[in-house]
Amino acid sequence: MRTAYERYLALPIDKGLFCLEHGDMTVPYFCYPANAEPIGFEGCILYCFLPEYGEMVFACNPESCVEQNVYPLAANFEDFIRLILACGTANPVEQIVWMDQRKFEEHMAEEEAALTEEQKAAAQQLQRELGLFPMENPFEYVKAIQKGFDGRKIQYRDEYYEATGLGAV
C-alpha cells in the first residue's frame, strides 16, 4: 500500500502552487539538518521529514523569526496536507511558529484573498485524489505540535554550530 506521501508525489499537480517547489539540497542552508528528506521548498524554507522523528513534517527556515530554525508543523504527512487544504498553501502553516491567533487570522485573510483560481483548483484536486479534508483549527493544531517539542535529536551539520555559535550537543 502506498503512503499518502507517495500518492502525493505521483499526482500530476504543480506542487509549487502549494509553496512546495521541487528542489535539491546541493547547497543547503546552515540550518538544514544533515539527514533531512525534502518534501519541497518555498524560497529558502525547506519542508521535510527527519528520520529520527518518524512521519513528522518540519520546516527549516534560515531566516526564522524565532530562536529556532527547525520546527515541527504536523505529526504526519496527511495532517500536513490537511493543513495546506485549510490554509491554501504551506506558507501560513510555516508562519504559525511566530504568530498569535489574531496575527494568524489576519495573515489567512490576506492569503485567501491572494489565492489564484489555479491554486484553488489544485487544492480541490489534491483533496479529491487523497481523500483528505481540511484541518479544523490549523493554528491550534500546529501550536500543540510545537509546544514542548524536544529538538535534541535533530542532526545538524557543522555549519549550523558555526553559524549559531551553539556547541554540538
Domain ranges of the chain: 4-144
Q: Return the sign of the alpha-carbon dihedral for residues 56, 38, 43, 162.
A: positive
Torsion of the alpha carbons at 21, 27, 167 and 149, rounded to the nearest 10: 10
| Contacts of residue 62, Cβ cutoff 8 Å, sequence gap at least 6 | 29, 30, 31, 44, 69
pLDDT at position 148 is: 87
What is the arithmetic mean of pLDDT over 141-161?
93
pLDDT band at residue 1 under the 50/70/90 scheme:
very low
What pLDDT is stored for residue 2 in this prediction? 65
On the question of pLDDT at 11 being above 80, the answer is yes
pTM, two decimal places:
0.93
The CA distance from 58 to 97, in Å, is 11
- What secondary structure, in 3-state letters, does 22-60 show? CCCCCCCCCCCCCCCEEEEEECCEEEEECHHHCCCEEEE
Give, as one character, the DSSP assignment of residue 166: P
Position 122 pLDDT exceeds 50: yes
Q: Give the confidence band of 105 by pLDDT, cuts at 50, 70, 90.
A: very high
Averaged pLDDT score across all residues of the chain:
92
Closest CA to 30 of 169, 152, 166, 153: 166
